[in-house]
Amino acid sequence: MAIDEKQAAKRIEQLRHEIRRHDRLYYDEAAPIISDREYDRLYKELIDLETQFPDLVRPDSPTQRVGGKPLQAFEQVSHLIPMLSLDNTYSEDEVKNFYARIRRLLPNEKIAVVIEPKVDGVAVSLIYQSGKLRQAATRGDGNVGDNITQNIRTIRSVPERLRDMAPKLLEVRGEVYMDRQGFEKLNEERKKQGLPLFANPRNAAAGSLKQLDPKIVAKRPLGVVFYGTGAIEGVDVDLHSEVFSLLKKLGLPVTERWWVAKSVEEILDAIHELDGIRHKFAYQTDGAVLKVDAFEQRERLGFTAKSPRWAIAYKYEAERVETRLLNIVIQVGRTGILTPVAVLEPVLVSGSTVGRATLHNEDEIKRKDIRIGDTVVIEKAGEVIPAVVAVVKSKRPRDAKPFDFSEHLHGKCPVCGERVRRDPQFVAWRCENIQCPAQTTRRVEFFAARGALDIESVGGIVADKLVERGLVREPLDLFELKSEQLAKLNLGTQDAPRVFGEKNAKKAIQAIKRARTLPLSRWLFALAIPDVGKTTATQLARFHDNIDEVAHSQLLRDVLDYHEKREHKQDAKEIAERLIKAGFAKQSKSKAEKKHGIVTEVGPAVAQSVLDFFASAIGRKILQRLKQLGITPKSERASVKKAAELPLAGKTFVLTGVLPSMTREEATQKIEALGGRVSSSVSKKTDYVLAGAQPGSKFDKAKQLGIRIFDEAEFRKMLAR
C-alpha cells in the first residue's frame, strides 16, 4: 500500500516514540513489555519507512544508533570543565588518613562521604542541551578530548533525549564499558577471524570507541555508567547522593549501588561490602571511589595540583586464586627471549578464564621452587598478564616434578632448534637465530599491531600461519603479499581447513597499502628498534624527515659526541650550541650541571641504540628493502621555529599557588613550548605572574611591583591566542 510523505512522517514519529519507550523499559528498567521479535518488527518498519523517505531521517532516530558515515579523524573538543583524575590509595590506613585530613580541613563539621564503584572502563563526557544529546567526548588529556558523538550514539543505553524536565545544560561524566559476556564473545569471533585479541574488557571498550566507523562500534556490546556531572545549568543539587537519583530520573544509567557514610568505620564497611558484590556487576570494577557528599564542602576543600582534595580512589587488591600447574612450556618472544609459561587448569580470575600464566624466567622458577603438579596461586591485576605468585607447598603432591630450565632446553631453541645462550648479565635465555620462526611471528605481530602499523587483519594466528607457510620471513614481506595468496591461507589444520577468504584478504591488503604512508613515528615504533618506544619514536620523528635520516642522524651523533666530550669544555660547548639551535636540546636548569649543561631530547643510550640498529646487518637490510618497496612514511617534522620567533619569546613568568587543573610542570612546559621562561622569584624583570589558590609571598611582591597577575583561565586564553 502506497503511503504519502505526510502519513509516513506521522508513522515514523509514532515508531520512534514507541522504540524509545521500549529501549528505556529494556535498558533502564530491565522490564521489557514486548518480545524481542516484536521489537525487531517495529524497528524494521521504521527502517523501511526511512529508506523509502530518506528526507525524514533524523540524527536522533533510533535507527541512527547503528551508525552513520565513517569519519576521517576525530575532531578535538575542549572540555567545559577539565576532567581531573583521582589520587589512588591501596590501604585502609590511607583511607583513614584521607578522612582525617578532610576532618582537619573542615574542623567541627559533619562530613558525609559517598562510596561508589570505581568502574574500569573508558572515561567519557556527554553534553545534553535542553534534554538532547549534543556531544560526547573522551577524556583525552583532561582538557581536550576526541569528539566521539557518533560512536556514543550507537550505545543503546545512552538516551538520545532525556526524560522529563531536562535542565538547560547537563554535562554527565561516566565510563563506557564492555560487559564480560560481550567481551568474551567478541574475542571468540576475533580469534576465528585470526584478529588480535583484546587483553581485557576495558581495552576492548577503548578500542571500540576509537573506531572511526560507527557501524563497527554499533556491533560492539558497549554500555555506560554515569558517576557525576560536569557543567550544569538549570538544576539545583546540593549533594552528590542526589545526583544519582537525578540522573536516573532523566533516564541515564547509574551504578546500582552506592553508600553514604558518616564515619571511618562506615566508610570501611561500605568498601568491604562493595568488594563482596562488585564481581556481579556487568562492568568491571577495580576499586571504590570516595567522594565528599556536599558540594559546598567540596568547594571549600578544593584541589591539589592534579586532583580534588574531596575525593580519593581505593584500589582493591588484585584477585588471587589457586589452581594446578599442569605443565611448563617455553615461549620465544620478539627479541628471542625465552619465557617459561605455566599451563594451568583453567580457572576464573577477575571475570575471565585463565589457562596460562607467565613464570617470568628461570630464576623465578628456582626462587619460588615451582614444580609441575603443584598447586599455585595466580594473580591478575588490570591489564597485566596473569602471573604465578606463589606455590602452596602444603598441597604439593609427592610426584611433583621440578623443572630444570637449562636441562629442558639442552642448549637449543624449542622452536627452531638453534643455539640458545644465557647472557651472564641478564636473567633470560635467548635464541640467537633471528630467523627463528617464533621470533619472526612475534615481530610480524608487533609490526602489524595497534599503535604500530595497525594492520588489523594480521593478528596472532594469521602471523603464525604466514610464517609457518613460508609466505613471510620478515615483517616487510607483508608488502609483497598478493591478495590471492592471503585468500587461500589456511588458518585451520589440514584435516579441518579454514581459509582466510577473499573478503578478509582484500581488507588486509588495503590496510597493508595504507601502512606505506603512515607517519614516520609509527614506522620507527613498528621496526622494534631496541629502546625505541612510542615516545622516543615521536621525538625522533619531529626532528627527521625520513627513516634514512634517522639512520644517519647528525643530531644523534652529536648527542653521543656531546656526552663523550662533556669534560672538554670548548668542544662540548660547540656541540651543545648546535643541538640547542636545532631545538634538539635545552639548557639544563639544574645547578649541578656545568655552565653549558644541556638536556637532549633523547639520551645517549637511546642515540647509540638507534645508530647501532641501522648500522647492523638487519638495519641495513631494512633500509634497503624500504627503498626497493618504495615505502615513504609521512614526515612529521615540526617546523622547529627559531626560539626568537615564538610568541612568548623573551617573556619571563613566575608561578605561585595551586592551579585548579594543571600542575606547575604542565604550566611550565606550556610556557616553554611557546618560547617563554619560568623563573622562581619575582623581580622587576618578571613579565607575568600566574597565580592559583593560596598564592605565596610572590603574589604580594608582584602586586607591589605592579606586575601583571593572572589566573589559570586567563592563562588558557592567552595560550589559545
Across the beta sheet with 688-691, the strand order is: 677-679, 652-656, 688-691, 708-710
CA gap 572, 201 in Å, rounded: 51
Listed in sequence order, the residues at least 6 apart from 592 whose beta carbon sits closer than 8 Å to its beta carbon are: none
Instruction: Report the Cα 248 to chain-centroid distance in Å.
Output: 29
| CA 243 to mean position of chain CA atoms | 28
Closer Cβ to ligand IVH, 84 or 318, answer by number:
84
228 binds ligand IVH (CB under 6 A): yes
d(CA 99, CA 290): 10
Residue 289 binds ligand IVH (CB under 6 A): yes
227 binds ligand IVH per the rule CB under 6 A? yes
Using the minimum distance from each CB to ligand IVH, give the nearer residue, 64 or 284. 284
Residue 656: count of CB within 10 angstroms of its CB: 22
| Among 118-126, 154-162, 480-488, 491-499, the segment contacting ligand IVH (CB under 6 A) | 118-126
The owner of cell 524481542 is 36
CB of 424 to ligand IVH, least distance (A): 43
Helix, strand, coil percent content, the chain, rounded in steps of 5:
40, 20, 35
Segment near ligand IVH (CB under 6 A), from 63-71, 78-86, 387-395, 646-654? 78-86
84 lies in the site for ligand IVH, by CB under 6 A? yes
Burial of 199 (0-12, 13-18, 19+ CB in 10 A): middle
Query: Shortest approach of ligand IVH to residue 505 CB, angstroms?
Result: 39
Residue 123 as a binder of ligand IVH (CB under 6 A): the answer is yes
Using rule CB under 6 A, residue 658 touches ligand IVH: no
- Please compute, for residue 498, the number of CA atoms within 13 A of its CA located in the half-sphere on the CB side: 12
Q: Nearest approach, Cβ of 315 to ligand IVH (angstroms)?
A: 10
Q: Where are the beta strands (DSSP E) in 265-351?
A: 285-292, 311-315, 319-332, 337-349
Q: How far apart are CA 448 and CA 442, in angstroms?
A: 10
| Residue number with CB closer to ligand IVH (118 or 670) | 118
- Contact region with ligand IVH (CB under 6 A), list: 81-89, 104-112, 435-443, 560-568: 81-89
Taking the least distance from each CB to ligand IVH, the nearer of 313 and 467 is 313
Nearer to ligand IVH (CB atom), residue 311 or residue 415: 311
Catalytic annotation on 591?
no
Considering 44, 69, 110, 118, which one is annotated as catalytic? 118
Considering beta carbons, is residue 284 or 652 the nearer one to ligand IVH? 284
Distance between CA atoms of 17 and 24, rounded to whole angstroms? 11
- State the Cα torsion 408-378-179-245 to the nearest 10°: -160
The span of 100-108, 114-122, 356-364, 622-630 binding ligand IVH (CB under 6 A) equals: 114-122
Residue 86 lies near ligand IVH (rule: CB under 6 A): yes
Strands 708-710 and 688-691: parallel
**Taking the complex as a whole, how short is the minimal distance between the CB of residue 657 and ligand IVH, in angstroms?**
19
In this chain, which of 118, 190, 522, 670 binds ligand IVH, going by CB under 6 A? 118
Name the minimum Å distance from CB 256 to ligand IVH: 12
Q: Does 308 bind ligand IVH (CB under 6 A)?
A: yes
CB of 173 to ligand IVH, least distance (A): 7
**Three cell numbers, residue 458:** 594480521
Cβ 599 vs Cβ 586: under 8 Å: yes
* Residue 119 in contact with ligand IVH, rule: CB under 6 A: yes
Q: Tell me the C-alpha distance between 346 and 356, whole Å.
A: 8
558 or 712: CB nearest ligand IVH? 712
Q: By C-beta, is 166 or 313 nearer to ligand IVH?
A: 313
Residue partners of 720: CB distance under 8 A and separation at least 6: none
Is beta strand 319-332 parallel, antiparallel or unpaired with respect to 420-422?
unpaired
Q: Which stretch binds ligand IVH (CB under 6 A): 79-87, 349-357, 449-457, 631-639?
A: 79-87
From 84-92, 548-556, 608-616, 676-684, give the range in contact with ligand IVH by CB under 6 A.
Answer: 84-92
Please identify, using beta-carbon distances, which residue of 54 and 276 lies nearer to ligand IVH. 276
Answer for which of 224, 311, 472, 659 binds ligand IVH (CB under 6 A) is: 311
Residues contacting residue 359 through CB under 8 Å, at least 6 positions apart: 328, 339, 340, 341, 342, 365, 370, 387, 388
Q: Site for ligand IVH (CB under 6 A): which residue of 175, 293, 374, 445?
A: 175
Return the active site residues. Answer: 118
Residue ranges in contact with ligand IVH by CB under 6 A = 84-86, 116, 118-119, 123, 139, 175, 227-228, 289, 308, 311, 313
